[in-house]
Amino acid sequence: MPRAERLLSLMQILRHHHYPISGMALASETEVSLRTLYRDIQALQNQGAPIVGEPGVGFLLRPGYTLPPLNFTDEEIEALVLGSRWVERRTDARLARAAREAQVKIRAVLPAARQAELELSSLSIIPVADPITDTIDLGTVRQALRQERKLKLHYTNEKGSSSRRIVWPVALGYLERLRVLAAWCELRKDFRHFRTDLITQITLLDERMPQRRADLQRTWKTTQGRNSLIDC
Query: Are residues 187 and 217 both part of a single domain?
Result: yes
Query: Are residues 79 and 50 both part of a single domain?
Result: no
Banded model confidence at residue 66, pLDDT cuts 50, 70, 90: low
User: In Å, what is the CA distance from 7 to each residue of 80, 103, 116?
Assistant: 21, 26, 27
Residue 184 confidence (pLDDT): 95
Query: Are residues 142 and 208 both part of a single domain?
Result: yes
Claim: this prediction has a pTM higher than 0.85: no
Query: Are residues 84 and 22 both part of a single domain?
Result: no
Query: Are residues 154 and 199 both part of a single domain?
Result: yes
The per-residue pLDDT for range 185-229, each reduced to its tens digit, is 999 999 999 999 999 999 999 999 999 999 999 999 888 645 544
The per-residue pLDDT for range 108-131, each reduced to its tens digit, is 777 776 677 676 667 777 777 777
Torsion angles phi and psi, residue 68, rounded to 5: -65, 145
> Alpha-carbon distance 111 to 84, whole Å?
20
Banded model confidence at residue 40, pLDDT cuts 50, 70, 90: very high
Q: What domain range includes position 98? A: 72-119
Domain total in the chain: 3
Query: Are residues 31 and 100 both part of a single domain?
Result: no
- What CATH number has the domain bearing residue 16? 1.10.10.10
Q: Which of 5-19, 29-43, 66-80 has the lowest mean pLDDT?
A: 66-80
Contact 193, 231 (CB under 8 A): yes
Banded model confidence at residue 2, pLDDT cuts 50, 70, 90: confident
Buried b / exposed e across 112-127, counting CB within 10 Å, b at 16+? Answer: eeeeeebeeeeeeeee
Query: Are residues 55 and 89 both part of a single domain?
Result: no
Residue 228 confidence (pLDDT): 46
**How many percent of the chain have pLDDT more than 70?**
87
Query: Are residues 88 and 149 both part of a single domain?
Result: no
